Amino acid sequence: MSYYYPARADIDLAAFAHNLNVVRQSLDGQKIMAIVKADAYGHGRVECARTAIAHGADYLGVAQLGEAIELRKELGAGPRILAWIYAPGAPLAEAIRDGVDISVGAWWALDEVEKAAAQVGAPARVHLKVDTGMARGGFPLAEIPDAAQRLQKLERGGDVVVVGLWSHLARADEPGGTFTDVQVERFEEARVAAAKAGLDIELHHLAATAGALWHPKARYDMVRPGIALYGLSPNPAWATARQLGLTAVMTLSGDVIVDRMVPSGTGISYGHTFITDKPMRVGVVPLGYEDGIDRKASNTAPLVINGQPACIVGRVCMDQFVTSLPDGAKPGDTAYLFGDEAAGLPTADDWAEAMGTIGYEVVTRLGARVPRVYHE
């Protein structure tokens, strides 16, 4: 740790490797693209990427092109990396030089990839993206034949190598739903159209975590697990992380820095949204909304201090929050916000339920100033 901070996020890389193996055991031999976008969901991009590759991941996936370029610098040559978000004018030539795979899902993107490849004098490795039901990115299904023909011409001319065909599932976290089947059918149509255009595509990939776990037809050649690698369920209402055999990778904690008894009728924190109805011991933990502790956690999110339950009371502030304090707790003790259920801690999904959101948001919003402490 390069500087002092009275809170920390412990990152268990052995748990990450365990979760990767849990996903692998659910598959039928498909390749795995480990998703490390958004700084590995707040856990640390480089460390998680290295762990993924060391434990057999075939690909790495990041959303932003800039993330991919930086990750290539951090990891060096070797691991395959896919990026899929960029705007007109993006540094595609640099990405091509770095061997980054690039998603193409719009005509302007095809134009810019062609120009960048000509500039570099080397083919771009591309994954053709089709919109099968997200209405978010990718060519509409009706445009896939023309897009595939354009790519086939570019491939013949040495400007691209078409590595993949891909899409994303909108409702895979509803295991009993039928829309995933609809998307699989549309993806099949795109696959046939690409083949008819003469593209010999190595990797067809459609499923992220929920698709990989709960929709075997969506697995194709490769799956793209993300949230499961970090020990969270894509849908805790269907199956919790513990039921899936996953282990939380992040444990977030902070030091108790205040211990005081306040009388009945005391207003706590800004706006006095909590007023004590009896004498109460309260403490302060130095984490706030600048650190990613959402104000929606006010008066609701659980903690564990000295093995005993506690709860945030009053509004979360920018740099700190007030908590109920169990008997015997004192300044310097550790307040655990969330971690692994098997260790007796609240989970990120517990926090998500308390705040009316999802576990993804709880971990990815963790601020940069909170030190990540890595261990095996």
Active site residues: 37, 270
DSSP states of 155-170 as a string?
Answer: HHTTSEEEEEEE---S
Give the type of residue at 196.
K
Tokens of 75: 């990891």
- Rounded Cα distance between 30 and 375, Å, is 29
Q: How many CB atoms lie within 10 A of CB 57?
A: 25
Closest C-alpha among 107, 177, 167, 105 to residue 132:
167
- Rounded Cα distance between 277 and 324, Å, is 13
- Inter-residue long-range contacts of 299-303, CB under 8 Å, 24+ positions, other chains counted: 299/273, 299/274, 300/354, 300/355, 301/337, 301/346, 301/351, 301/354, 301/355, 302/346, 302/350, 302/351, 302/354, 303/335, 303/336, 303/337, 303/346
Max distance between CA atoms of the chain, in angstroms, equals 79
Closest C-alpha among 211, 230, 187 to residue 35:
230
Cα angle 227, 44, 238; round to 5: 15
CB 127 within 8 Å of CB 222: no
Burial (CB < 10 A; 0-12, 13-18, 19+), residue 185, is exposed
- Rounded Cα distance between 82 and 179, Å, is 26
